[in-house]
Amino acid sequence: MRKGQVNVFILLLFVSLSSASDQRWRKAMMSAYNGSSSSSSSSSSSSSSSMMMMNRGGSSILFPIHGNVYPTGYYNVTINIGHPPKPYFLDLDTGSYLTWLQCNAPCVHCIEAPHPLYQPTNDLVPCKTPLCAALHPPGDYKCESPDQCDYEVEYADGGSSLRVLVLDLFSLNYTNGIRVGPRLTLGCGYDQIPGTSNHPLDGILGLGRGKSSIVSQLQSQGLVRNVVGHCLSGIGGGFLFVGDGLYDSSHVTWTPMSQDKYYSLGNAELHFGGKATGIRNLVVIFDSGSSYVRLNSQAYQALTVLLKKELSGRSLKEAPEDQTLPLCWKGRKPFRGNKGNVCLGILNGTQIGLQNLNVIGDVSMQDRMVIYDNEKQVIGWSPANCDHLPRFKSYM
């Protein structure tokens, strides 16, 4: 690897690829062109997952993750909110920065929810607060009712949530067992439009960059460092953590974030089989709210052409009858899992209106820790065993 060049691996391009023998796949790889790496990525490959797991007292909060890329298509965590605390299943989303619950205020349009709708407090967030301002584009910030802050979030799948910010108690446990109950701002959403990837949910846990994120709020109350990370297991599930107590920084490959509202490393070039393709200046973001990788039409086109060329004359044959994803193949013997085929976990982002944004989704972030350090403004990753929660004395 050239000095100063950063590589973001897009691994596990294939869903339900379980037989190791047929895994002669070249890995598509994206490399950030203009980024400058703060550490070499070779250091990470040798680290074992057990070395990764550290227990530095109560500096982190840990949440088990449920879900998988296929067939479920999303990941959720359970968060206890309110007084007395009630559980809610929230979708994990590093691509947005507001946490909201479907809310009985009463609800005008709600989508199906696994739990009874959240009953909001009367504790409204006033309009003239930095946190409210952070949710509105500058200049477009009219406080029509000064005692409340309206919000609207829209997602790439066309879904949205609309309404008002409230303050309520979050019931959280540090990894050492100590309990905290901070008052945090969340959205009381009582007007939702379902997106194309609609499924039952209580709300969304927005972990993206910005003052309004739960992590940033916890930091401003002195409870954790403004760091969030996830470890998604290839067999489903995994864990989410907030704070910096669960990893050894020296075993993590760190790369500076670019100046962007998303978690991004700046411009990238598409590599295929270790070789540059000449497709450059791809703006790539890390988005746990997306199950698959999305490339813009040009990059997607180039990748599929290269991939088909690579596969021609091999035992894999295209399976156009399999509608699971746009590109699926069957092997000589069926693979384990869905219909016995394998499918490409990279899709055409232009199709869903992403324009020039390219997304690294869950399928390529499995079996590694991905860490977003908003204080040092770096993103890091490291191989890890995400099948089990890291163990702590208080848990044993």
Ligand X SMILES: *[C@@H]1O[C@H](CO)[C@@H](O)[C@H](O)[C@H]1NC(C)=O
Contacts (CB under 6 A) with ligand X, residues 90-119: 114
33 contributes a contact to ligand X by CB under 6 A: yes
297 contributes a contact to ligand X by CB under 6 A: yes
Phi, psi of 298, deg, nearest 5: -65, -45
Instruction: Indicate the residue among 148 and 304 with the shorter CB distance to ligand X.
Output: 304
80, 104, 220, 385: residue in contact with ligand X (rule CB under 6 A):
80
Residue among 91, 93, 168, 373 flagged as catalytic: 93
> Number of residues in contact with ligand X, rule: CB under 6 A?
23
Neighbour tally for 62: CB within 10 Å: 20
348, 376, 383, 388: residue in contact with ligand X (rule CB under 6 A):
348
What whole-number distance in Å separates Cα of residue 322 and Cα of residue 341? Answer: 8
Specify the DSSP element, H or E, that contains 325.
none
Per the CB < 8 A criterion, the answer to whether 30 and 11 are in contact is no
Min dist CB 118 to ligand X, Å, is 14
Q: Convert residues 220-239 into a mask of x (bound to ligand X by CB under 6 A) and - (unbound).
A: --------------------
- 157 flagged as catalytic: no
As given in the structure block, the two tokens for residue 87 are 């559980």
267 contributes a contact to ligand X by CB under 6 A: yes
301, 324, 338, 385: residue in contact with ligand X (rule CB under 6 A):
301
As given in the structure block, the two tokens for residue 370 are 């991905």
As given in the structure block, the two tokens for residue 375 are 């204080």
As given in the structure block, the two tokens for residue 217 are 């709020």
Residue among 202, 287, 322, 367 flagged as catalytic: 287
Q: Output the CA–CA distances (angstroms, integers) from residue 355 to 162, 259, 260, in the order listed.
A: 24, 19, 16
34 contributes a contact to ligand X by CB under 6 A: yes
- 93 flagged as catalytic: yes
As given in the structure block, the two tokens for residue 82 are 């309110």
Residues 6+ away with beta carbon under 8 Å from 21: none
Choices 13-21, 157-165, 197-205, 336-344 (CB under 6 A): range interacting with ligand X: 197-205
Longest dimension (CA), the chain: 67
| CB-neighbour burial class of residue 280 (10 A; exposed 0-12, middle 13-18, buried 19+) | middle
Min dist CB 20 to ligand X, Å, is 30
200 contributes a contact to ligand X by CB under 6 A: yes
What residues are annotated to the active site?
Answer: 93, 287
Name the site residues for ligand X (rule: CB under 6 A): 33-34, 66, 76, 78, 80, 89, 114, 173, 177, 179, 199-201, 267, 280-281, 297, 300-301, 348, 350-351
